Structure 1
Amino acid sequence: MKTPLILASLATATAMIFALPAFAADSAQDFVDKATAGGMFEVDSSKIAEGTAHDQAVKDFAHKMIDDHGAANAKLETIAGEQKLTIPKELDAKHKADLDTLKTAKDDVDKPYVQMQRDAHSEAVTLFESYAKDGDNAQLKTFATETLPTLKMHKDMIEKIAVTGDAAPTTSSTTPAVTTTGTTNPAAPVPGANSFTEEQAKTRIQDAGFTDVSALTKDDKGIWRGQATKDGKNTMVALDYQGNVVAGAN
């Protein structure tokens, strides 16, 4: 019978579709849409961070993003015009929400900006790698290939800032969540509007050395709380909006 063979083929095709990277582009226009939205967000968010961040390394990074992504955006717009493709004029809903989070941050923009940049560059590298390999437009494939090393460099830079800079999350419940001068900051976890998704929260907690992260819920103070394992022991764990991961927090 041919039916089982057909069903098996359909199952294989479906599996291949779902195996594609979440941020891959399936057409030239799709790539332009996603790359433009990401590039615009890089510039707009970095303009906010350059003016309001506390950590000089974050400010310097933001300035570089404005220069590098500004140039890449202009190049992409030129290529898209030549290829008769449409350039989006506004950010998508997700990037608009992230930008609003930075605009309304009252005290410390460093940590949310750094985390957004980590996420954005991870997505951008995936998008550009995929299109450079399998894209359907020669000029855009060349653009993706030529831009990819810069994106990877940005990704490495922001990861180092996240780990070593003032914007790095703390893992001690007695360390102030924000480094400032002449003020007393509350111990982490710090209440505040939390822009981390559940998956991002889980990843941040795992990055801090925890495993078996489960039962994550965001409380009315904007703090993600759940259970995890570290050093072979089960413990309660919390993640605040600044990225601070605290073990044993109630």
Structure 2
Amino acid sequence: MKTRLLLAALASATALTVSLPAFAEDSAQDFVDQAAQGGMFEVNSSKVAEGKAQDPTVKDFAQKMVADHGTANAKLVSIAHEQKLTVPTELDAKHKRDLDSLQNSSDPVDGPYVQMQRDAHSDAVNLFETYAKDGDNVQLKAFALETVPTLKMHQEMIEQIASTMGDKSASTKPATPAVATSDTANPSAPVPGANSFTEAQAKGRIQDAGFSDVSTLTKDDQGIWRGQAKKDGKDTAVALDYQGNVVAGTN
């Protein structure tokens, strides 16, 4: 009886030992997949912005992204190969759609590119910080920890650029005259009128007003961007008018 119990315990321990590498490999592979997708998108979208952006600051940022993420991507590939992990070589559907929208746009790409970079770096910082803390592959954890400060620096840079672009938009665009003359939100907002904000710029301005998870943005026949968002943990309707006023709870 004791012999059978001992053999059963040994069998269970052996099964557990065998299963651990598979779990570790799956988790590490998931990190490599997400990090590689994000890194490829950073480089490819920034190459487009280098050629099509109008703002010199945006061009300079795009150039830095090509250099910094190109270096990080190469390091990720090297570590992944050492760990016998596969590295995706093509963008997934979402990243490809975003890249195609930049490449095929006949309008200035500055605003959409900046918003894409804000979203991408928010995702990247979260991914790398999480894996640096809880990852199961020593080499990849070290890579993630080493890369986080650079990603945060990029995030600060793009947020500053977004803020500056918002100021320029407010003070120079004829479709947003009220923003240029007052920092106080119009009490009768949202105000109907020809809205020059792109969808990406509208999303960024709503986020700057303290909202998150901005989605389903559409411009109605009065020139008002309307969608859904979260603030203080609660879902709410949100609107942005041509003056730049952000209003919650509107339908």
Kept in 2: contact 1:133–1:141 (CA 8 A) = yes
Q: Which residue of 1 aligns with 2:195?
A: 189
- Cα distance change, pair 143–54 in 1 and its aligned pair in 2 (3 A): same
Shift of 1:209: 6.3
Q: Which residue of 2 aligns with 1:225?
A: 226
TM-score (norm 1): 0.68
Kept in 1: contact 2:224–2:239 (CA 8 A) = no
Give the whole-Å Cα distance in 2 for the aligned partners of 1:72 and 1:116.
19
Structure 2, unpaired ranges of 5+: 1-25, 180-192, 230-237
Whose Rg is larger?
A: 2
Cα RMSD between the aligned structures?
A: 3.9
Residue identity over aligned pairs, in percent, reads 60
Structure 1, unpaired ranges of 5+: 1-25, 177-186, 229-235
Q: Which residue of 1 aligns with 2:244?
A: 245
Count of equivalent residues = 202
Mapping for residues 98-247 of structure 1, pairs under 5 Å? 98-165=98-165, 170=170, 173-174=176-177, 189-190=195-196, 194=199, 201=203, 204-208=205-209, 218-219=218-219, 224-225=225-226, 237-238=239-240, 245-246=244-245
Give the whole-Å Cα distance in 1 for the aligned partners of 2:98 and 2:215.
25
- Cα distance change, pair 108–136 in 1 and its aligned pair in 2 (3 A): same
Kept in 2: contact 1:50–1:62 (CA 8 A) = yes
Kept in 2: contact 1:208–1:245 (CA 8 A) = no
Structure 1 runs (4+) deviating above 3 angstroms are 165-172, 208-211, 213-217, 219-223, 244-248
Q: Which one has a larger percent helix, Structure 1 or Structure 2? A: 2
TM-score (norm 2): 0.67
Q: Which residue of 2 aligns with 1:50?
A: 50
Give the whole-Å Cα distance in 1 for the aligned partners of 2:32 and 2:80.
7
Query: Match of 1:205, as an amino acid?
Result: I
Provide Cα deviations, 1:155-194, integer angstroms capped at 9, x if missing partner: 0000111112478653982279xxxxxxxxxx862276x4
Q: Which residue of 1 aligns with 2:22?
A: none
Higher RCO, 1 vs 2 (CA within 8 Å, ≥6 residues apart): 1
Give the whole-Å Cα distance in 1 for the aligned partners of 2:123 and 2:117.
10
Kept in 1: contact 2:206–2:214 (CA 8 A) = no
- Cα distance change, pair 209–140 in 1 and its aligned pair in 2 (3 A): closer
Provide Cα deviations, 1:51-98, integer angstroms capped at 9, x if missing partner: 110111100000000000000000000000000000001111111111
Q: Which residue of 2 aligns with 1:22?
A: none
Q: Which residue of 1 aligns with 2:18?
A: none
Query: Match of 1:160, as an amino acid?
Result: Q
Shift of 1:207: 1.7
Q: 2:239 aligns to what SS in structure 1?
A: strand
Q: 1:46 aligns to what SS in structure 2?
A: helix
Kept in 1: contact 2:28–2:135 (CA 8 A) = yes
Give the whole-Å Cα distance in 1 for the aligned partners of 2:176 and 2:211.
15
- Cα distance change, pair 208–144 in 1 and its aligned pair in 2 (3 A): same
